[in-house]
Every structure is written in C-alpha cells, then in structure tokens.
Amino acid sequence: MKITKVAKAGTLESNDILIMVSPKDQGIIELDLESIVMQQFGEVIKQVILHKVQEMGVEGVSIKAQDRGALDCTIAARVETALNRAI
Amino acid sequence: MVYGAQVARVNLKDKTERDEVESFLGEFGLILDRDVDYTFVIRNEEPSPQFSLTERAPIVATCSKAKNVLKCFAIAHDLRGEGMAATLVTALIDRLFSEGIHHYFVYTNPCQVKIFSALGFKFVHQNQAVALLENGIYDIRQHLEGLKAKYEIGAGERAALVMNCNPFTLGHQFLIEEAANNHGEVLVFIVEEDKSLFPFATRLALVSEGTKHLPNVKIIPSGEYIISAATFPAYFIREEGERLQAYAELDAAIFGKYFCSSFQILKRYVGEEPYCPVTKAYNETLKKVLPIYGVELEEIRRRPFGDEPISASRVRSLLREGETANLINLLPEVTLRFLDTSLGREIVEKIRKTHSPH
C-alpha cells in the first residue's frame, strides 16, 4: 500500500487522538508521538500504531500522532482511517 | 458545562455577524484582524428565556484563521477549562486540511502558550508581546534540515541576505557582490510570500540569473519562517507602531535562533533603507536582536545613481510614470530583458494601475 498524499483522522478532544500521515520514501516508517499519558502508555501507543501500519502493508509513511488519552481501539481506528484517506 | 458544542462558521461578509464577533473579541481587548479569512464561533445553545426565538444565542467562544495562521481566539470566562479550545482548534485543522494546508502557526499572548502546547503546538519563539507556535506535518528543525540537504549547505561559516527584489536591481546585485567578495559562501533568501507586484517565481528567477557569475552564492526561497505572512504579518499590511515592533523582533529572533545557528551564518547584510519606514524599523530591530545570537549585522550604503540611491521602489515609480529611459542605469541586463517579455509588460501595466507600496 502506497501513501500518496497528506491526510488526517481524529480530533484533539479528550479521549481521542489526531493522526496526520504524509508520504515518505519506501521502507521508511517515521513516527512522532505526543501524548498526555506518554510516561504511562507511550510505548503501548507506539506499538498499536506501528502494528496497524504493518497490518495494512504500508511501504513508506511519516506519522504524526497527538494523543489525548485515546483507547487502543480508537487509536487503531484513527490510524486506519488516516492511512486509507492518504492512498 | 457544554456537551457537544456546535461549531458554526461565521459569514465574514455579513456585517451583523462580523460585528457580533468583533464585539465579543472586544470584551477581551482583542480585535478581528483585517486579514482573517475564516472564522468559527460556538454559541451558548442552552435554552434561556432572555432570548426570543428570533434572536441568536450569544457567542461564547471564537477563533479565526488567516491563510495558515490561527488567530483571534477568545473563550468566555465561565467556559474555560471545558475543552473549548480543543474543539475550536480541531475545527480549524479540518478547515486547513481541506484547503490543502498541512502546516500552520498560532500567534498568541505569551501567557497562553501552555494551552496551545497542550494541544500539540510546538513553541517557536516568544517576546514580551507575542508568542509564535507551530503544528502540522513538519516543524522548523525539519524545515532547516530539508534546506541543508536540498541546497548542500555544508560545514563552514557564511553570510546571508534576505531580499524581496521587487524587481531585482543593480543595487541588489551590488549588495550580493559585496557579501560574496567578503565571505566563502553567501545565502540569499528571497521572500516567498506572493504579495509583491513581481511574482515570487519571477523574482527568484531574476536573482538566480543575475548572480550566475558568483559561484559562492546560493539563492534560496525564504519559506514560511523568514518575513512571511506568518512570522511578520505587519510587513505585508504595512503596520507601524507597537505591533510592528513585536513582529519585527520575532522575525529577527527566529532568523538568529534557528537559521544562523543551524547554517553557521556569522553576518547578515542589509541595504540602508532611505524610504520605507517599515523596512527601516525592521533594520533597526535586526541591529539590536541579531547580536544576541552572535550574528553581526552590516548595513551597506546603497549604491547611488545620480543623487539618489538605487532601490526597487524607485524603479517601480519610474515604471509607473513611464520614464523607462532611465531604467538602464538602475537595472541589470536580466531584469531589463524580463520587462520586455509579455509577462514583464503585463506587470508594468499592473504597476501603472495600482499604488501598492510593494
């Protein structure tokens, strides 16, 4: 799956996450995460996002995630939507 | 508590609606800037007997944007701390993305920096009067890294100039030559904001062509961080006084703090400004601010022709008056040739019809 344009999904409301994705060279997956619960869940959130990226077979992407305390299912859904919008 | 606050767009062309936003902002000592192109409001939707059905509920929060800059934020005191700012910013980001803008700034009072940081904005710079933050798919550090790679800016010390070149004159050429003689490498940033009579693409092309004989000069688009509508709105709306001072200081500091340290710029050259009060004030500010970041500012006396210094505004006024015979002494070959093309003639025609200071 190839990312061809910039897209986003989500909001900055509490319990949500805002995901912005943009194209990157093949093989490069870049993730920039900010979260209000970075210390407690930073690693878990990263894994959820990267797992989704892998699952969808994305080749190269730069992801910027601004988390406001979203649940894992929300995070996965927002990433999936953003990626689908960016094809 | 407001649940599911509804964000509504304001029709800025409707005087009643505009007045309503202006008077709401007025309560906080704010004004609705002239360059705003999109405004959102949240209204107090709770049913209240004080308002008849025909009357609209009062505004409780508002925000606006001008191109890629978020501004004019206000939220009623009793609704603060309820996540209104997040709702407003999300609505603006939706709008920005739909316009194809993926990187944006916010100007705010230095005491509000915290609120925007919490919404994911990254701090760029602040002074006593104003703070600038940014957000989006890249930031200033990534932008500088990108420039470094693209223009092969390696190690070593260099000098820089920032120019509008509207159009490129012998004065500009002289200034660049001066800098090129004294330094191993010179970076010339051409103001990218397309608010001048000569379009950016033309200005960039003319300078590149007119400095071809100088192998140690690199011509670079100024981007969003040097004299752009984001970092220096006052320059384009010709504002003077306190706001000009605050914005000029911000622009100068961003150049010193980020560009000079990242590219090892030791000196910035400017031409003496005999006419324009805004540019003059800007030069004065540069003189004060750049040394804080260890950068020297050299003001070079303009190259004169006749009794008067050569300047782009002098060229424009000659074009306006149709006195083209004198231009040969003010403009380099490439600009003269350009004025003779169809696009060039079109621009001259435009200059004759307007009185724009740019």
Exposed (0-12), middle (13-18) or buried (19+): which is B86, by Cβ within 10 Å? buried
Q: Which of A20, A30, A35, A37 to mutate to test the interface with B (most CBs of B within 10 A)?
A: A20
CATH number of B142-353: 3.40.50.620
First-last CA distance in chain B:
49
pLDDT classification of B238: cutoffs 50, 70, 90: low
Q: Distance between CA B232 and CA B226 in Å, rounded?
A: 8
Query: Which residue among B89, B97, B137 sits closest to A12, beta carbon to beta carbon?
Result: B89
Computed over every residue of chain B, the mean pLDDT equals 89
Considering the four listed CATH numbers 3.30.2080.10, 3.40.50.720, 3.90.550.10, 3.40.630.30, the one that applies to the domain covering B7-106 is 3.40.630.30
pLDDT at A71: 97
pLDDT digits (tens, 9 = 90+) for B306-324: 888 898 888 998 998 888 8
Neighbour order of strands in the sheet with B186-190 = B217-221, B186-190, B158-163, B265-271, B296-300
Interface of A with B (CB under 8 A): 6-8, 11-14, 18, 20, 22, 34, 36, 62, 64, 66, 68
B245 vs B150, higher pLDDT? B150
A51 is a domain residue: yes
pLDDT digits (tens, 9 = 90+) for A31-45: 999 999 999 999 999
Q: Is residue B53's pLDDT more than 90?
A: no
Which chain B residue lies closest to A34 (C-alpha atoms)?
Answer: B120
Dihedral sign of CA atoms B330, B336, B339, B340 in order: positive
Q: Distance between CA B197 and CA B313 in Å, rounded?
A: 11
Name every residue whose Cβ is closer than 8 Å to that of residue B98 and which is 6 or more positions away in sequence.
Answer: none
Exposed (0-12), middle (13-18) or buried (19+): which is B195, by Cβ within 10 Å? middle
For residue B57, the 8-state DSSP code is P
Q: Interhelix angle for A72-85 vs A38-55, to 10°?
A: 40
Q: Distance between CA B97 and CA B159 in Å, rounded?
A: 37
Give chain A's residues under pLDDT 50. none
pLDDT at B9: 92
For residue B330, the 8-state DSSP code is T
| Residue ranges per structural domain of chain B | 7-106, 142-353
Chains A, B: CB contacts within 8 A come to 36
pLDDT at B239: 63
The answer, yes or no, to whether the previous bond of A23 is cis (omega within 30 of 0) is no
pLDDT digits (tens, 9 = 90+) for B80-121: 888 888 999 999 999 999 999 999 999 888 888 999 998 989
A2 is a domain residue: no
Name every residue whose Cβ is closer than 8 Å to that of residue B74 and which is 6 or more positions away in sequence.
Answer: B24, B25, B27, B28, B30, B61, B62, B63
Q: What is the CATH number of the domain that holds A75?
A: 3.30.230.10
Q: Is residue B140's pLDDT more than 80?
A: yes
Domain count, chain A: 1
Closest CA to B264 of B158, B149, B184, B141: B158
CB-CB neighbors (< 8 A) of B89 in chain A:
12
Under the phi-then-psi rule, with left for phi > 0, alpha for psi from -120 to 50, and beta for the rest, what region is B259? alpha
Report whether B149 contacts B311 (CB < 8 A): no
Q: Distance between CA B223 and CA A85 in Å, rounded?
A: 27
A42 is a domain residue: yes
A27 is a domain residue: yes
B50 vs B236, higher pLDDT? B236
Q: Which residues on neighbouring strands pair with residue B5, listed in sequence order?
A: none
CB-CB neighbors (< 8 A) of A7 in chain B:
97
What domain range is A27 assigned to? Answer: 7-85
Q: Which residues on neighbouring strands pair with residue A67, listed in sequence order?
A: A17, A35
Residue B99, amino acid: E
